[in-house]
Amino acid sequence: MTEFRFVHAADLHLDSPFKGIQAVAPSNVHARLMDATFLAYDRIIDLCLSERVDALLVAGDIYDAADRSLKAQLRFVDGLKRLDAAGIRSFVCHGNHDPLNGWQANLRFPDSCHQFGPQVEAVELDPARPGLATIHGVSYPERDVKLSLVPGFGRVSGDAFTIGLLHANVGSNPHHGSYSPCSVEDLRATGIDYWALGHVHTRQVLNQHSPVAVYPGNPQGRHPVETGERGVYLVDVGADREVRLSFRDVSVVRWAQVAVAIDQLESDQELIDAIDSGVAAAFDADGRDVVCRVTVTGRGPLYAATRKGDFSTTLQARINDEWSHGAPFGWCERVEVNTKPAFDREEQRQAGDFVGDLLRLVDDIQSDPVQLAALREQLGTLYGHPRAKKYLGSSLPEDGELGALLADAEARALEQLLGVGAL
């Protein structure tokens, strides 16, 4: 039997722009994308109200302080006020994107909302029911918290169910910044029953029991790689301290990746059919709007067709003409072509001509870190350029990416050398 229940959310990133889109969206799509994080947050509040939870827990990165978005902070407080009016308490900690020393509008939070400070605090989940549950939490005093904040939680004791509210990189997830790095073991050592974590955008349950450690992920994907369902966890805690997790998708716009390989395709029509089929499947998202990226890969006879100058734009326009005007819409933000020529590279590599020399050279470079480093240095002409460094400095291709880049360069060189039709 449920003793109490709460919603665990994190990484709202209200009013933060979508990333990774280079195309200019049509007006209806643009308006929807601009409002998507807010609408997802509204759905979280609606969920709290409809499920009559006792509290909403937000584990940091509510907004990006660097953006100084008034709208984000106002809408956030508006949502908390709705909860307050319904008698639902809220608990908020701040993360690396919205640290305490970051810009904040002079807003008044409702009395039922508790914002954790730079030191770990413990507050009753419900003052009217003392001893039911205690929430321990801490906010980032500044953006770069490179040391773990978990030790600050100490070792909790008592009969009350304990919840830790923390923004941190647990388990050193390589795809996210190393803020407040710690391990599950560190969390377990605190004796806290449920860790309401934030920071990692892909939902995952790090630990099922003692403690339960959960990343709900961000409620609205904001990048082509943030695909699939996005939302929050509805957490029921029983009288026996048993935790039941229920994920709820609150996203408004869903991201999708459509990958089509040309290896087995023979004709342009087959390629179009494959893309249409993939796109139609991606756009079927429970009535949600969908932004997709189509990636054409593989080696095959259709390589020349995919390398035509207007292939990507024509295909993108074709998809968007059909899908982007409806409601819900499906919008293809990019068609990426990563195809390779169908010719037998290994055989060509054995040839005694220039092409053979070229392919062998590429292989030499790929396997030689010194040569790769030299290439990176060569690319520094752009990535290290005084004007561009600010924007591209962090994008200088690493080894793996450089390898892929080199493969693309090889294909491009062969294209120019032999003509697309000959490949």
Partner 1 sequence: MRIERLQIDGFGHFHARDFGPFDSPLTVLLGPNEAGKSTTLDFIRTMLFGFPARGREQYYPPLAGGQHGGKIMLRGEDGRRYIVERVGGTRGGTIRITTGEGRIFETDAELRRLLGQATEAMYENVFAFGLGELQAKESLQGAEVSGQIYSAGLGAANLPRALKRLADGADAVFKPGGSNQKVAELLTALQGVEARLEEARGDSAQYGQLSVRLAVIAQDLESAGVSAAHLSRRSSDLDRLRKGWAEWLPLVDLRSRRAELPTLERFPQSALVRLETSEKSVAEAETALRGATSEADDAASIANQHVPGEALLADEALVEQIRRQRGSFDGSLRDLPKRQHEAAEKQRELQASLAGLGANWDAGQVTAFDLSIARRDEVEQWRQRLEHAERDARESQITTRADALSASEADETLAEAQQALSSLPVPGLDAASIGERKTALRETRTALDQFLRAQSSREEAERRLDRFVAGASPASPRAGLRGSALGAAAVALVAIAGGFALGGNATILGLLLGVPVLGVAAFTAKTKPHRSADDRASRPDDEAALSRLALVEAGALVRLREFALPLGTRSPDPAGLDAMEFELESVTAALNAWTVAQERVAITNRDFARASRRATDAQEHSGECERQLSELRRDWQAWLTELGLPDSLAPATATAVLDRIGYTQTVIDDAVAAHHRVAAIEQDIHKFRAGVVELALRHGLAVGEAPATAGVVADELCRRFDSAIRAVARRESARATLAECERRSQACEDKLAERRRLLHALLAAAGASDSEDFRRLDALHTEAARFDQLIREGEQRLVVLSGPGERLAAFLATLRGTTIDAIDTEAEALDVELQRATAERDHLLDERGSTSARLASLSSDETASDLRSQRETLLEQLRSAAREWSTLTLARHLLERARSKYEAERQPDVIKHAQSFFRTVTDGRYKTLISPLGSNNVTIIGQDGGHKTPEQLSRGTQEQLYLALRFGLIRQFAQTAEPLPVVVDDILVNFDPDRQYRAAKAFAELARTNQVLVFTCQPATAEMFKAADPRTQVIPFSGQARLLG
Kindly list the distances between the CA atom of residue 402 and the CA atoms of 23, 164, 377, 395, in Å, as whole numbers in the listed order: 24, 41, 11, 11
Hey, CA dihedral for 140, 142, 145, 148, is it positive or negative? negative
Q: Tell me which stretch binds partner 1 (CB under 8 A): 9-17, 142-150, 199-207, 241-249.
A: 9-17
Contacts with partner 1, 101-140, as mask; x by CB under 8 A: --x-xx----------------------------------
Q: Count CA atoms closer than 13 A to 204's CA, side-chain side.
A: 11
Q: Among residues 207 and 371, whose Cβ is nearest to partner 1?
A: 371
Distance of closest approach, residue 182 Cβ to partner 1, in angstroms: 31
- Does 23 sit near partner 1 (CB under 8 A)? yes
- Does 24 sit near partner 1 (CB under 8 A)? yes
- Does 342 sit near partner 1 (CB under 8 A)? no
Query: How far is 213 from 171, CA to CA, in rounded Å?
Result: 11
Distance of closest approach, residue 93 Cβ to partner 1, in angstroms: 22
* Helix, strand or coil, per DSSP, at residue 83: helix
Q: Tell me which stretch binds partner 1 (CB under 8 A): 93-101, 150-158, 311-319, 347-355.
A: 347-355
Kindly list the distances between the CA atom of residue 320 and the CA atoms of 276, 315, 338, 401, in Å, as whole numbers in the listed order: 11, 9, 21, 30
Distance of closest approach, residue 216 Cβ to partner 1, in angstroms: 24
Distance of closest approach, residue 97 Cβ to partner 1, in angstroms: 13
- Does 82 sit near partner 1 (CB under 8 A)? no
What is the per-residue DSSP string for 363-379? HHHHT-HHHHHHHHHHH
Q: Among residues 34 and 123, whose Cβ is nearest to partner 1?
A: 34
Dihedral of the alpha carbons of 75, 79, 84, 89, in degrees to the nearest 10: -110
- Does 17 sit near partner 1 (CB under 8 A)? yes
Pick from 310, 353, 370, 400: which binds partner 1 (CB under 8 A)? Answer: 353
Produce one character per residue of 51-70: b if its CB has 16 or more CB atoms within 10 Å, e if not.
Answer: eebbbbbbbbbbbbbebebe
Strand ordering across the sheet containing 113-115: 113-115, 89-93, 55-59, 2-9, 231-238, 243-249
* Residues near partner 1, by CB under 8 A: 15-24, 30, 33-34, 67-71, 74, 103, 105-106, 301, 344, 347-348, 350-358, 361-362, 365, 375, 378-379, 381-383, 385, 387-388, 391-392, 395, 397, 405-406, 408-410, 412-413, 416-419, 421-422
